Amino acid sequence: MNIRSLLDKLDCIASYLQSPLLLVIRLYWGWHFAQSGWGKLHNLEKTTGFFESIHIPMPKLNAIMAGAVECGGGVLLALGLFARPVSIPLIFTMIVAYVTADNEALHAITSDPDKFVSAAPFLFLLASVIVLAFGPGKLSLDALFFRKSASSK
């Protein structure tokens, strides 16, 4: 066996891990997004006060919007339903979180990368970017409902 055929076999075997890995990422981070959003919506006055303290304009409206995006988007992400489209507002929400609540970590992206990657929004952002880039995988409602059939080609 040559190196090329070994690499091809490794690629084939590793490709079987893609959908289960995407499922785990979606379930874990979708659940955590949903919990975070639920918490924002059910503690709206506290969330509004926090948003106000970090100078987010229209803090109550933005607290409702952030909570709704995280809660609803997290559920959709976990289910793998409209996963790529919903990852965009989730990414945007995490970027806003970096810019406002974790600005120091954002500015440390090159000088202290550990501070950037250990900030709360990082793994939420990473999970959303992974789903945007790779899709929800075969173990998702998107794959079930929107699979392109061979007859439609």
Residue 13 in this model has a pLDDT that exceeds 70 = yes
Give the closest residue to 31 by CA, choosing from 82, 86, 83, 70.
70
Tell me if 69 sits within 8 A of 37, measured CB to CB.
yes
Count Cβ atoms below 10 Å from residue 76 Cβ, excluding itself: 23
C-alpha separations of 20 from 15, 32, 86, 139 in Å: 10, 18, 20, 7
Tell me if 122 sits within 8 A of 116, measured CB to CB.
yes
Give the pLDDT band (50/70/90) at residue 72: very high
What does the pLDDT read at residue 147?
A: 82
Task: Please report, for the chain, the start and end positions of each structural domain, with discontinuous segments joined by +.
Answer: 21-138
- Angle, in degrees to the nearest 10, between helices 18-42 and 59-79: 150
Residue 151 in this model has a pLDDT that exceeds 80 = no
Is this model's pTM higher than 0.85 or not? yes
What does the pLDDT read at residue 56?
A: 96
Summarize pLDDT for 91-105 with one digit per residue, the tens: 999 999 999 999 999
